[in-house]
Amino acid sequence: MAEQAEQRDHAAAERGDPDAMIRLAVLAGQRGDAAEAERWYRRAASDGHSEAMLHLGGLLEERGESAEAERWIRRSADAGNVNAVGAIGYLRETHGDLEGAHEWYRAAADRGDSYSMVRLGLLLVRGGRPEEAREWLRKAVRRPGQLLVRADAMRQLAHLAVQGGDRAEAERLLREAVSMLVEADEPATQETVQVSNELLTLLGSLLRDRGESAEAEQVYGWAAEFGHTPAMIELGRLMEERGRPAAAEEWHRKGAEAGNLRSALLLAMLLMEQRRPAEAEPWLRRTAEAGVPPGMDFLGTLLEKRGEFAEAERWYREAAEARIDHAMLRLAHLVEKRGALTEALHWYERAAAAGQDMAMLKAGELEERRGDRDTADRWYERAAQAGNEFGMFHVARLRTDRGAHEDAEMWLRRGSAAGNANCMALLGILLAEQGDVAAGEQWCRRAMAAGVPNALTDMKAVLEAHRGPGL
């Protein structure tokens, strides 16, 4: 039957019937024969068929031939095809011409094109004009037909409602959109199922945020059962939050086996937390080899703990180059351990630039080892300013050595307040040297209680060295 219909279309197309040409082009596209589809679209477009012009432009754009694509789509728009007017807006948007996109979307929206209303709404949101965006999105929702476009408009309105603090309205919109798609008379398509799953996942997140965990689990589950991996991710995370690690592992594993790299990473992390590194390693390798920077970092950590330092360094380096801050610090540590101090300092400096206070401290230590106490002092102070108590101790130590006692005391008091026992001990010695032996002894006793057993003895030794025995 279908074969006979195709033969009739061939005969009609050869006689110059543009509608038959369109049907043949669509059929060729479904078969994956882009060249045949283009041949029929070109014939129909050349005969003035505006829909064929639009589809031909779409094929050319997919192939990267943007200039010719836009020429055909503009010809379709000039012939009165409102969908082509919106398509020009999309071309302008993808090429970075937001002003032009706004103009074309507005022209199509004014003529009733729901798709352009939604795209125009999104552009207005990006431009900081949410109220105008809501107006166009609501118009799209009210337009008959085009269920997927209407559902998308509801989703965007839900996002705006969340941003405006009206989560109840967002939830209402998402529920209405899901119901509209589920209850539609039209047969469900793959695209309909995909959009429904996305709406359900967003709805599940709203429910979880307001503490409705049981309903959130149910809503996520509907989408997850249809193979929606973002829902599997959220469902797995919800199970972790609810203290159900076995269920969390099940959903993370389903997502990972479906090829979702985030699911694979979450599964690996869960297995690591459960002290199952051998099971975690294949999933970490999958994410690392696929170029997921956190996967590289975690794989490096696993290998380092196992003593496989060379391969750990390799993965830390990959993650560090991808700007994972902790990986920079770990890489620097491994490089320092094998004696490559210049390279280690380079990575400590990069981690420090990313805000890692421990990297600032380690950079200071390396500079001090190289004999550059001034640069070390600057790194220690940066670490101290970032709240690192060890940085406070070391900057105070260097400043004590060069006689900047007031500055040293300030840092020692801050470090002591943070609970650093070494700061307490050095503060005690500094105060005793300045003549307040009672306060010095008090701080040294605190240091002893905090883990510096020789603090009081050290203080007395310093006083004796400066003032003589018995003082």
- How far, in Å, CA of 418 to CA of 99, rounded? 54
The pLDDT of residue 149 is 94
Q: For residues 288 and 315, is the Cβ–Cβ distance under 8 A?
A: yes
Report DSSP state, residue 216: H
Handedness of CA 225, 227, 230, 233 (dihedral sign): positive
- How far, in Å, CA of 438 to CA of 461, rounded? 15
Query: What angle (nearest 5°) sits at the alpha carbon of residue 280, between those of residues 307 and 287?
Result: 95
Residues whose CB is less than 8 angstroms from the CB of residue 399 and which lie 6 or more positions away in sequence, other chains included: 377, 405, 407, 408, 411
The pLDDT of residue 263 is 98
pLDDT one digit per residue (tens) for the chain, 471 residues: 567 777 887 888 788 888 888 888 888 888 888 899 889 889 988 888 999 899 989 999 988 898 998 999 999 999 999 999 999 999 999 999 999 999 999 999 999 999 999 999 999 999 999 999 999 999 999 998 889 999 999 999 999 999 999 999 999 999 999 999 988 877 778 889 999 999 999 999 999 999 999 999 999 999 999 999 999 999 999 999 999 999 999 999 999 999 999 999 999 999 999 999 999 999 999 999 999 999 999 999 999 999 999 999 999 999 999 999 999 999 999 999 999 999 999 999 999 999 999 999 999 999 999 999 999 999 999 999 999 999 999 999 999 999 999 999 999 999 999 999 999 999 999 999 999 999 999 999 999 999 999 988 988 888 887 766 554
The pLDDT of residue 467 is 67
- For residue 41, give the nearest of 32, 52, 31 by alpha carbon: 52
Region for 76 from its dihedrals, namely left if φ exceeds 0, alpha if ψ lies in -120 to 50, beta otherwise: alpha
Q: For residues 440 and 426, is the Cβ–Cβ distance under 8 A?
A: no
Say what the pTM is: 0.79
DSSP per residue, 407-467: HHHHHHHHHHHTT-HHHHHHHHHHHHHTT-HHHHHHHHHHHHHTT-TTHHHHHHHHHHHHH
> Residue 142 corresponds to which tokens in the numbers above?
């009210």
The pLDDT of residue 422 is 95
> Residue 36 corresponds to which tokens in the numbers above?
């045949």
Q: How many CB atoms lie within 10 A of CB 75?
A: 18
The pLDDT of residue 471 is 45
- How far, in Å, CA of 3 to CA of 193, rounded? 30
Q: For residues 359 and 381, is the Cβ–Cβ distance under 8 A?
A: no
The pLDDT of residue 1 is 59
> Residue 403 corresponds to which tokens in the numbers above?
């006689």
- How far, in Å, CA of 220 to CA of 224, rounded? 6
The pLDDT of residue 169 is 97
Q: For residues 223 and 200, is the Cβ–Cβ distance under 8 A?
A: yes
